[in-house]
Structures are given as C-alpha cells and as structure tokens.
C-alpha cells in the first residue's frame, strides 16, 4: 500500500505512461470512474502537494484528493517529484 505524504510534491510519471500503452488504459479508466482523479491528474503536470491540490480544488474534500492520489500512485502513474 502506498501512503500519501502531505509534505511531498507529486507529479505525473510521463516516462512510464509513454513507455507502457496499458497504463494509458488504466489512467482512462481511473479518470472515467473518478472525476476528482481526473482533476488531480490534470494539475499534476507540475509538482503539487496535497495542500496545493486542496486549494486549487476547493470543491473537493482532502480525503477525496488523497484517495485519487493513492489510486494514481498505486498504478505508478504519478511519482514523488524529484524536487521534493
């Protein structure tokens, strides 16, 4: 299980997504089923912390944002930013 750190910044794992076609299907499935994950994914083009995501997605509950991050990191679609 992947624990989301509130102090780390997360970013899209584009290298893996580009290398593995199956990951694109997984991403599409997650984003179709979870609108919060779709919004989180879009914002993770640049590194974001849970706090910055929460401010930018003020209509979303922090628990929903964390759940979305967990889904995405479990599939290795996002990673902790190297700048963290």
Q: What is the pLDDT of residues 9-60, one digit of tens each?
A: 999 999 998 889 899 999 999 999 999 999 999 999 999 999 999 999 998 8
What are 28-36's contacts with CB under 8 Å, separation 24+?
30/71, 30/72, 30/75, 30/77, 34/67, 34/68, 34/71, 36/60, 36/64, 36/65, 36/67, 36/68
Q: How far apart are CA 22 and CA 58, in angstroms?
A: 32
Q: Taking a C-beta distance cutoff of 8 angstroms, is the pair 8, 49 a contact?
A: yes
Q: Taking a C-beta distance cutoff of 8 angstroms, is the pair 36, 64 a contact?
A: yes
| The pLDDT of residue 21 | 85
Q: 0.85 cut: is pTM over it?
A: yes
């Amino acid at each position: 299980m992947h624990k989301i750190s509130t102090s780390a910044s997360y970013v899209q794992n584009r290298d893996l997504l580009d290398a593995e076609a199956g990951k694109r299907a997984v991403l599409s499935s997650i984003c179709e089923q979870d609108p919060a994950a779709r919004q989180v994914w879009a914002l993770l083009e640049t590194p974001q912390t849970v706090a910055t995501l929460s401010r930018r997605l003020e209509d979303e509950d922090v628990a929903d944002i964390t759940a979305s991050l967990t889904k995405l990191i479990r599939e290795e679609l996002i990673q902790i930013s190297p700048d963290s």
